Amino acid sequence: MDAVVIGGGVIGLAVAWRAARAGLNVAVVDPEPGSGASNFAAGMIAPVGEAEFGEEAVISLNRDSAARYPSFVAELELDAGRSAGYRQTGTLHVAVDADEQSALERHYRFRQELELPVERLSSRQTRDLEPGLSPSIRGGMLVDSDHQVDPRAMIPTLLQACSRLGVQIHRSRASLLVEAGRATGVALDGGQRIEAASVVLAAGPWSGAVPGVPSDDTPPVRPVKGQILRLRGSPEMIARTIRGGSVYILPRGDGRVVIGGTVEERGFDTSVTAGAVYELLREARALVPDVAELELVEASAGLRPGSPDNMPMVGDSTTPGLIIATGHHRNGYLLAPATADAVAAVLAGGTWPEATRPWSPSRFRRPAGVGA
Ligand SMILES: Cc1cc2nc3c(=O)[nH]c(=O)nc-3n(C[C@H](O)[C@H](O)[C@H](O)COP(=O)(O)OP(=O)(O)OC[C@H]3O[C@@H](n4cnc5c(N)ncnc54)[C@H](O)[C@@H]3O)c2cc1C
C-alpha cells in the first residue's frame, strides 16, 4: 500500500479519493465510515460568512478551499457517477433587532475592509429577496459567493468514487503500527495488518485516542458538540441560507431544511436536549415564521474536531510516515478540497504547499527539553 487513512469522515475520504486519483494504492480504515461529524454537518461552504474578527490569516485559506469546490465536485461526480449535492445558492445574513443590526453593520465593514464580496441590504431589499422572512427583519448582508454541499450526498459520493478507483475500505478500528521509529501501517480489530508507506491520521475528534500514536504526535483535538435539526416542507419557503442571531436555516432546494447549530463544550456527549431544540426552533421562527409549519424529521448532535486555536492541524508529525489531518472544527466540508489536495500531493512525493503551512501541527509541539 502507498497510504492507509485512519478515519473515513469527509477529510479521510477526500484524502483517499484524491490520492487514488493521483495513482496511489490507498486504504481507508473506519468502523463506520461517514458516521462522525461528517454525517451531521449542515454543509455550508461559507468562507466569507464564517470570517471572524482576528482570523484574517485563516480567511484566505478558507477562500482558497471554497474556490476549489466547483472543479473538486465536477471531478468527484465524474469518478462516482452520482451527485455530491453542491449548490451555489448564496447566504443572506439578517438582523431582527437594533443590537443585531449594529453587529451586522460591524460584520459588513470588517468584510468590506478585507475586500470580501458582500452587499448591504435595507429591510425592504432583504424581504424582496426572501419574502419568507419575518416582517420585523431590520436589514441584511448578502454573500452570494457562500455556497453549500449536502453531506448526506457528499459522503456516499466520496465512498463511491473511492470504491471505483480501487480504494480498499476496511470496516474496523485502526491502531497505528510504529517500527524503529517509523509509521509502517495499521492493525485492524481482528489483528490483520496493513503495511503502508504512509499513514494519515484523520479520525476527527477521536484522533487523540487512536492506539499506537506516539504521545508527541497525539493531536490536541477536542470534541465540540453541535446539535442540529432536519426538517421537511415547502421548497419555496426560502431560496438561500438565512443566518441571524445564533442560527442558520439552510434549504436544500427540494423541501429539506437544516437548522443549526449549537456550539457546546461537553466532551463526547451526543445527547439531544430539549433546551437546544427549543432555542434553535425559537430563533429560526423569529427569522422565518413558516419554519413552524415544517415537519421535524431529525434532531441530532455531532462532534466537531476542534484544535486549541480552532484551525486545522494538517501536516507532518515527528514520526516519519505519519501525517496528521484533523482539527477542522466548524469547516471540515469547506476545507476538504484544500486539505485533500495538500495531503495527496505529499503522499505522492511532493512537499506541503506554502499556503497550508499555517496548519502545521508543529505549532502545538513543546520545544525539545521543555517539560509538561
Ligand atoms: C452540527 C454540525 C454542523 C456543521 N456544519 C458544518 C458546515 O456547515 N460546514 C462545514 O464545513 N463544516 C461543518 N461542520 C464541521 C464538519 O462536520 C467537520 O469539520 C468534519 O465533518 C470533520 O470531518 P473529519 O473527517 O475530520 O471527522 P469525522 O467526520 O468525525 O470522521 C472521523 C472518523 O474517524 C473514525 N474513527 C474514529 N476512531 C477511529 C479509529 N481508531 N480507527 C478508524 N477510524 C476511527 C470515526 O468512525 C469517524 O467516521 C459541522 C459539524 C457539526 C457537528
Domain boundary among the residues 306, 327, 342 is at: 306
Q: What per-residue confidence (pLDDT) applies to 368? A: 58
Which residues is 158 bridged to in the sheet? none
Looking at the structure, do residues 141 and 233 belong to the same domain, yes or no?
Answer: yes
Q: Which atom of ligand 1 is nearest to the CA of 29?
A: 43
Is there a contact between 72 and 337 (Cβ–Cβ < 8 Å)?
yes
Query: Is residue 370 in a domain?
Result: no
Give the CATH number, domain containing residue 128.
3.30.9.10
**Centre of ligand 1 from the C-alpha of residue 244, in Å:** 25
| Ranges of the chain whose pLDDT falls below 70 | 367-372
Range of the domain at 231: 89-147+222-306
**Tens-digit pLDDT profile for residues 132-190:** 999 999 999 999 999 999 999 999 999 999 999 999 999 999 999 999 999 999 999 99
- Ligand 1 atom 1: residue of nearest CA: 226
Looking at the structure, do residues 247 and 112 belong to the same domain, yes or no?
Answer: yes
Q: Quick one: residue 314, left, alpha or beta (phi over 0 = left, psi -120 to 50 = alpha)?
A: beta
Looking at the structure, do residues 158 and 75 belong to the same domain, yes or no?
Answer: yes
Is there a contact between 294 and 241 (Cβ–Cβ < 8 Å)?
no
**Centre of ligand 1 from the C-alpha of residue 103, in Å:** 30
Residue 245 DSSP SS3: coil
Q: What per-residue confidence (pLDDT) applies to 371? A: 44
Query: Is residue 243 in a domain?
Result: yes
Looking at the structure, do residues 139 and 237 belong to the same domain, yes or no?
Answer: yes
Query: Is residue 372 in a domain?
Result: no
Run of H or E residues at 317: none
Looking at the structure, do residues 74 and 8 belong to the same domain, yes or no?
Answer: yes
Strand 147-149: give its sheet, edge to edge: 44-45, 147-149, 86-87
Looking at the structure, do residues 143 and 156 belong to the same domain, yes or no?
Answer: no
The whole-angstrom separation of Cα 198 and Cα 169 is 16
**Centre of ligand 1 from the C-alpha of residue 163, in Å:** 20
Q: Quick one: residue 76, left, alpha or beta (phi over 0 = left, psi -120 to 50 = alpha)?
A: alpha
Q: What per-residue confidence (pLDDT) applies to 54? A: 78
Amino acid at 347: L
- List the one residue out of 217, 246, 282, 251 whose CA is nearest residue 100: 246
Q: What per-residue confidence (pLDDT) applies to 3? A: 98
Give the CATH number, domain containing residue 71.
3.50.50.60
Top mutation candidate among 333, 335, 339, 359 for ligand 1, by most atoms within 8 Å of CB: 333
Domain count, the chain: 2
As for ligand 1, residues whose beta carbon falls within 6 Å of it are: 6-12, 29-33, 35-38, 40-44, 173-174, 202-204, 206, 210, 226, 228, 260-261, 302, 304-305, 326, 328-334
**Tens-digit pLDDT profile for residues 300-309:** 999 999 999 9
Looking at the structure, do residues 128 and 175 belong to the same domain, yes or no?
Answer: no
pTM of the model: 0.97
